[in-house]
Structure 1
């Protein structure tokens, strides 16, 4: 069993690369494939008579979407509890299991209630798997290698988005997407158990980290999770309502996945300009993408433009949470990251339900544009001078 992450790490080499690769695969499946499968398959499952004779209403869709992010929040909050008892690898194994079982439950779902239960399990997988890799990476890699590795783990989402887009286009129906999520989760679990070492739980007597520096990252997480949640929940639906073909949604996911590989540069960008400015830039890109989708979701050109702007904002925006919290609270990076993404996940639970309720009266496009404006204002405020400068990544210290 590998020692705790606050012990002297082993020299970077094959163990660190294996942990980074396994983490990238697990995150690719849990985030890139599972977390947003509901939004990708929404146009087809909404009208499937096998689920509902009259189709699923906006309110029901919003509630199911919110429920999936409630599962995400449960995974986030449960991660430190399980990690303290069984070590940080245990939550990643449980997350893969939730993705495997949940995906297969959705495949056989005869009505919206069973669909929601399976989707919640799949949503929880993303909450269980991400934060523990901060500690797993710290156990096998020296400080100067950690920002690059945690960014690589987060950027695994890009490969998952491309994979789920291919399945959506090539498969015979929406249930095929969820079957792929379940099977891929099982395969990711096997790889993770083989390549990721067991790391002992944190000693109970170690000092608690200081949480005050996490206020600004938590505010950022609210804007980040609300915009990305709504974009992925309603992107395919918006394009379908705009008259674009069935392949428009998967194509959007694929473009986001390919361009999202820019997330691998997060550590270098943070070292150059600071994590706060990187985060503000990401919020600005997400706001623009959401606004474009809301205003011109009936145009291929607009859909492509939204994907091109959204991709780096989404992937770098996810990676910067790991890099930023690791730099601010190095003595408790996993706990710090869990706290920040829990705040964002709580906002993500509320967001789809509120939007689903408002869309019926105000229109989906108007709601998306209004939210985009609010997020853009928040991004400008975060980028303005006056905030304390965030610590830079150790890569260039």
Structure 2
């Protein structure tokens, strides 16, 4: 039971009274309370690996803002770390893997990790977060999102050793030895499926696959290496009865060109970066998926009146149709003032509620019901 299931109903493309909102990286460095917790923990990795601290940080943004979902505080590189590649976070440089896989022998030794042994701290944190999300009546306040990196994005870090601008190592391997890349992707796919199934077993209500570096690929390479692996993950998740009803969001940064292909991946929703027009995306995706996004994170550095105007523009672009979750087009910037986040969340809720109420009173636009949307609009205006 959920006290607020608006996020999940939007993922199912059901009518909602307002557009739900959450923020990628909502628990993070822009919050002073997060920085205090991290300082106490000693490092990012120590923080993420301590279920008590991960629970505290996951709940911090919900204490400030009336967000419609919580997301597990963790990192996409927990899987490579569990494979023994040695994850560390260096100040000013971000995540680094001490043992990247660049030789055929390294790749031959790769194995999917035991989730229960190597990543138990993640599932323990999920169980604690679910308990901590309960209100005074014992009902979970909002849904909890679990996540993983996509097989391709994980492979990028595993070969490059960390963040990269040109991806020369992994792209050189991709074109020269695609068989080696495919082996990495096969192992990563198995690991991601196991990891996400474990998160479902621990109690998450939705899943997100972050394909952060999919947009770095050429068209054919994206289809073959990134998209195909994502589709395999989703298909294998659907084979589990526990995972069958858990919605999956796929976010490919720079993936706007492949929106139709991504919509056919089996995902329930697509995250959009800020380069995509929401009105066009709704038409292109049709009724196959919900859409999440896509305010430019830099907008939150502007004055609150500008933030509110940009929020309204995004909501107007999507329109009063089911299937929209408001979010940023990428993770929130560390320098974002929390009061600007408050202005965004407040405007999303207030303006979208008015937008939905106005639409529901216009029988020539659409008729809302609990089970779906009956369109009475001209084909050119219909959602999808």
TM normalised by structure 2 equals 0.28
Q: Which protein, 1 or 2, shows the higher relative CO under an 8 Å CA cutoff with sep ≥ 6?
A: 1
Q: Give the number of the structure whose residues are more often helix, by fraction.
A: 1
TM-score by length of 1: 0.28
